[in-house]
Structure 1
Amino acid sequence: MQEVKGSGKKYVVLVPLALQGHITCMLQLGSILHSRGFSIIVAHPQHNSPNPQNQPEFDFVSLPDNVSSLEDTSFSNVLEILSTIFANFGSPLQDYLVQIMEKHEIVCIIYDSVMHFVDSIATHLKLPSIVMRPHTAAYNLSDLTIIRLYSENKLPMQESQLEEIVPGFHPFRFKDMSYLVTSSQMDDGGCQFWKDLNNIGSSRAIIYNTIEDLESSPLSLLQEHYKVPLFCIGPFHKFGPPIQTSLLKADNSCIAWLDLQPPNSVLYISFGSGSTMDEKQLIEAAWGLVKSEQSFIWVVRSESVNESKWLEKMPEDIQQVIRERGLIVKWAPQKEILAHSAVGGFWNHGGWNSVLESICEGIPMICTPFMADHGVITRYVTHVWRVGLEMESTSKREVIEKTIQRLMVDIEGKEMKKRALDMKQHLEVCVEKGGPSYDSIDKLTEFITSLSLNK
């Protein structure tokens, strides 16, 4: 086993989920805690291993997970990947922790909420644990709502019910929650899995990558449910210097291209590291972009579709327009792009990291939800904060054209831009000294320190 640096230090052990957005949040949290004097160990699965050179101040240990034995290790096979990690990662993690405990003090273990089995390991080793939830409090509450609906024999729901507002959960509709609300595959075993993901066990607290006054209502309900301290210290990425967390290599040439564009003229398009569009959807999106007459940067990951062939199926004159008006890249430096004055809108998948990064730069959005928490977050963007528009992934080119123009050209989009800038200013206050997120980090630091003192 790999030895950690130094001796006599008090360590916080972070256990991330091996998916890009989750790894990003955990490493950002690690940077926050390191800035408060804690030594950080990142104990992670071998699958999607982060690059230790990007955070040399951390100790990284890669532990066996058996994912390499699977024929398909792409995101499309994520459920089997997670099942394999759940079955194989726990024992090596426990052995590693025992070894570390012989020489160093582990103050606590902080684990991604999906890695729920870590709590039982911590309990067995008599180590305090804390849950890190990289998403909104509202999504946590939507999970608990799904569990309740199943226990009341109200699942699966009919298509005709999906537009209805969930009782006690305004303004969220049933369709904004997980696909499980309509799935006939939701059975006792599936419900138990969902319960496991939302059961904190003996964990002492929950950390959210959110802002307290943006989610006061769901947080109040979650406090009543879990009865442990909730620390809202988001947005994680606004604390400390920027860190490199991406598992993919970004094409930085797009920044020079942006430098040549007028202010607020470019639509940035990225559907994250896991969402996919089929060839037909990509072609419709391309037609909609061309018809909207807006400049753009469009991220099309190589594993999401055969990016060379789908474009070749477009008429030659349309291909030429696409090349002249925008850039298509395999991955991009998202935070730098959103901070650029040329960017006026962001078409995304409703992923929480992307939405937080967008509102932190005052950029209004188009959200196309694909899975998981995307629906809940999209509803926040469109109906609570009113800084964006929703567009289905199956939308035709005419709808895409009109939606882009609404965001980038129409008065409606300008009003969203103003509200987005107001949110940006508010979040800047939240992360400053005396702001709620800053104060919550102070309280979290004191809480973790107390865990060591009370051993």
Structure 2
Amino acid sequence: MEQRKGQRLVLFPFPFQGHINPIIQLGNILHSKGFSITIICTNFNSPNPSNYPDFDFHFINENLSEDEKCNPNIVALIQLINVRCAQPLRDCLAELLSNVSKEPIACLISDFACHFTQAVADELKLKRIVMRTGGATSSSAYAAFPLLREKGYLPLQDSQLEKLVVELAPLRVKDLPLHDSCAPDEYYQLVDDMVNMTRTSSGFILNSFEDLEQPALATLRQEFGIPVFPIGPFHKRFPASLSSLLTQDQSCISWLDKQGPRSVVYVSFGSLTAVYEMELLEIAWGLTNSKQPFLWVVRPGSTINSDWLEAMPKGFLEALDERGCIVMWAPQQEVLAHPAIGAFWTHNGWNSTLESICEGVPMICMPFFMDQRVNARYVTEVWGVGVQLEKRERGMIERVIKGVMMEEEGEEIRGRALILKEKATQCLHEGGSSYQSLDSLVSHISSP
């Protein structure tokens, strides 16, 4: 822990699990560098302050109805939060700035999705730094949206889905970070707002590292013209298990302890994705037919029109015996580090992708929307540490699992994954790229 700097940082996360975890980790990282940390949260999806005695918490009312909070259209929810939180955040920040008993506020660090915070920071004459919970590669794809529209890649046309996006190779049109549940123009406007308000900020923090995404980081530095700080992987400095909004079932660890080395397929599709009942059935039979032990996270509500396990095939749960373990939520970082894990079947959210890379675990990629599609393409085609599941049917699932777990292809993937794991570890050590980038970030924050 470094000597206190007499400066306070205010962090404002977007209220989704995959966004709260990284900002809590970032708060711990910067607190260890001597800054005092204040976190302003919405009442919606707020972490428990008692888990973080070193942080000062404040809460604002986002004024969302229960129906609005449950809206499956994530883009609409992001837009609502950007509108409803503007005045409450401004009032909270103004009060903090007027409190002479606290250390002066050096800057506001807010989520990439919270583009409204730039106008608030400008009004209060406060430096704003953007934190991106996704990777540099997907960030550069978002920044290219005007070009993609100009070149005719967007809006999507079914006849072009397999077409290579030459300007963003190896991405195909179907790999672009899009969301299918909203009108294209509505989504393009949101992306433009997020990108443009990042360009006008004072800096860009990424949970990534140079050896993983150097070309995309170079593009961002050129495109944005602001300092870019890849200081990840965050979770290897400070885990964030205490910030989980769902109760983690630790019993799965004792189940893993009984399994052989690299024998288990870990299946989790994150905190937001949902599958149809037919997809759930194919996943269940694909896992069963592979004959591999599996740990499957089935989040309540993750199957459309089903509360939890009601849609499982008849007799499936009774036939699991000791070969399968199903939980509502798992301590993922602990699971991925367990020697029994042989592969991670994932939606390729950035946190999950990075956590898998850091443990050298091969991935089976099944992206759903937005940056997950970019991440999956890079996992398979650039970093070579996974296989993409192109068809969600039981025969294909069985073949892919067996290929990754039992065949030569899987061994080659594992070898590349272990090399990338070592690079992820080395970048955090003294002299490593993320170590140096963090020092640069600290200096940047402290400068007038």
Q: How would you bin the TM-score normalised by the shorter chain?
A: over 0.9
**Deviations for 1:110-129, whole angstroms, at most 9, x for unmatched residues?**
01011011011111111111
> How far is the alpha carbon of 1:320 from its aligned partner?
3.2
Where do 1:147-296 residues align within 5 Å?
147-152=146-151, 154-179=153-178, 185-187=183-185, 190-199=187-196, 200=198, 202-240=200-238, 243-296=241-294
The reply to whether residue 414 of structure 1 matches residue 411 of structure 2 is yes
Q: 60, 64, 75: which is aligned to 1:63?
A: 60
**CA deviation string 1:102-151 (max 9, x = no partner):** 12311000010110110111111111110111111111111122222224
CA contact (8 A) 1:55 1:243 kept: no
Cα distance change, pair 72–97 in 1 and its aligned pair in 2 (3 A): closer
Aligned residue for 2:319, secondary structure, equals helix
| 171 and 203 in structure 1: CA distance in 2 versus 1, 3 angstrom threshold | same
How far apart are the structure 2 equivalents of 1:9 and 1:179?
42
Aligned-pair identity (%): 43
Shift of 1:97: 1.1
- Partner amino acid, structure 1, of 2:392: S
Q: Aligned AA for 1:92?
A: P
Residue in 2 aligned with 1:22?
Answer: 19
CA distance in 1, matches of 2:392, 2:411: 23
Aligned residues: 438
Q: Tell me, in whole angstroms, the C-alpha distance in 1 between the residues paired with 2:117 and 2:51.
A: 25
The one-letter code of the counterpart of 1:440 is S
For residues 9-408 of structure 1, the aligned pairs below 5 Å read 9-67=6-64, 69-74=65-70, 76-102=72-98, 103=100, 104=102, 105-152=104-151, 154-179=153-178, 185-187=183-185, 190-199=187-196, 200=198, 202-240=200-238, 243-305=241-303, 306=306, 307-311=308-312, 313-314=313-314, 316=315, 318-392=316-390, 395-408=392-405
Distance 1:296 1:226 in 2: 43
Please state whether the residue corresponding to 2:369 is helix, strand or coil. coil
The DSSP-based 3-state class of the residue aligned with 2:167 is: coil
User: Which deviates the most, 325-334 or 136-145?
Assistant: 136-145
SS in 1 for 2:26: helix
CA contact (8 A) 2:75 2:182 kept: no
Query: Does the 8 Å CA contact 1:66/1:84 hold for their aligned counterparts?
Result: no
Post-superposition Cα deviations, 1:255-314, rounded to whole Å, max 9, x if no partner, equal 111111110001100000001111111111110111100001000011112323112x32
Name stretches of at least 5 consecutive residues in structure 1 with no aligned partner: 1-6
Q: Deviations over 1:22-81 (max 9, x none)?
A: 1111111111000000011111111111111221111111101011x2425236243343
Contact 2:44 2:62 in 1 (8 A): yes
CA contact (8 A) 2:296 2:327 kept: yes
SS of the aligned residue for 1:402 comes to helix
1:3 aligned partner: none
Determine if contact 2:73/2:182 at 8 Å carries over to the other structure: no
2:360/2:414 contact within 8 Å kept: yes
Q: C-alpha displacement at 1:241, in angstroms? A: 5.7
Cα distance in structure 2, aligned partners of 1:334 and 1:274: 15
The SS at the match of 1:101 is: helix
- 8 Å Cα contact 1:268/1:347 also seen in 2: yes
**Structure 2 CA distance, aligned partners of 1:388 and 1:427?**
17
What is the deviation of 1:14? 0.4
CA distance in 2, matches of 1:327, 1:406: 21
Secondary structure (helix, strand or coil) at the match of 2:83 reads helix
Cα separation, 2, equivalents of 1:428 and 1:323: 37
Is the 1:147–1:194 contact (alpha carbons within 8 Å) kept by the matching residues of 2? no
Distance 1:184 1:247, change over 3 A: closer
Q: Deviations over 1:210-254 (max 9, x none)?
A: 111221212212111111110000111111465522110000001
Displacement of 1:370 after TM fit?
0.2
Task: Find the residue that maps to 2:202 and give its secondary structure.
Answer: coil
Task: Tell me the residue number matched to 1:424.
Answer: 421
* AA matched with 2:415: K
| Contact 1:150-1:191 within 8 A present in 2 as well | no
Question: Helix, strand or coil for the counterpart of 2:396?
Answer: helix
In 2, Cα distance between the equivalents of 1:79 and 1:202? Answer: 22
* Other structure's SS at 2:50 match: helix
- 3-state DSSP of counterpart to 1:168: helix
| Contact 1:364–1:417 (8 Å) recurs in 2 | yes
Partners of 1:192 and 1:158 in 2: how far apart? 19
Name the Cα RMSD after superposition: 1.9
Q: CA deviation at 1:201?
A: 5.0
Whole-angstrom CA distance in 2 between matches of 1:412 and 1:243: 33
Say whether the 8 Å CA contact 2:210–2:434 is kept in structure 1: yes
Q: 1:116 to 1:340 in 2, by over 3 A?
A: same
Question: Is the alpha carbon distance of 1:282 and 1:35 closer, same or farther for their aligned partners in structure 2, counting shifts above 3 Å?
Answer: same
Distance 2:397 2:323 in 1: 17
Label 1:420 to 1:122 Cα distance change in 2 as closer, same or farther (>3 A). same
Q: Which residue of 1 aligns with 2:436?
A: 439
Contact 2:130–2:204, Cα closer than 8 Å, also in 1: yes
Once the two structures are TM-superposed, the CA of residue 153 in structure 1 deviates from its matched residue by 5.2
Q: Distance in 1 between matches of 2:279 and 2:152?
A: 36
* Partner SS, residue 30 of structure 2: helix
* TM, length-normalised to structure 2: 0.94
Residues 205, 230 of structure 1: 8 Å contact kept: yes
Q: What is the distance in 1 between the residues matched to 2:402 and 2:183?
A: 39
Answer yes or no: is the 8 Å Cα contact 1:156–1:183 preserved in 2.
no
Structure 1 residue 157: deviation in Å? 3.5
Counterpart Cα distance in 2 of 1:429 and 1:375: 27
Distance 1:374 1:272 in 2: 11
Question: If the length of structure 1 is used for normalisation, what is the TM-score?
Answer: 0.92
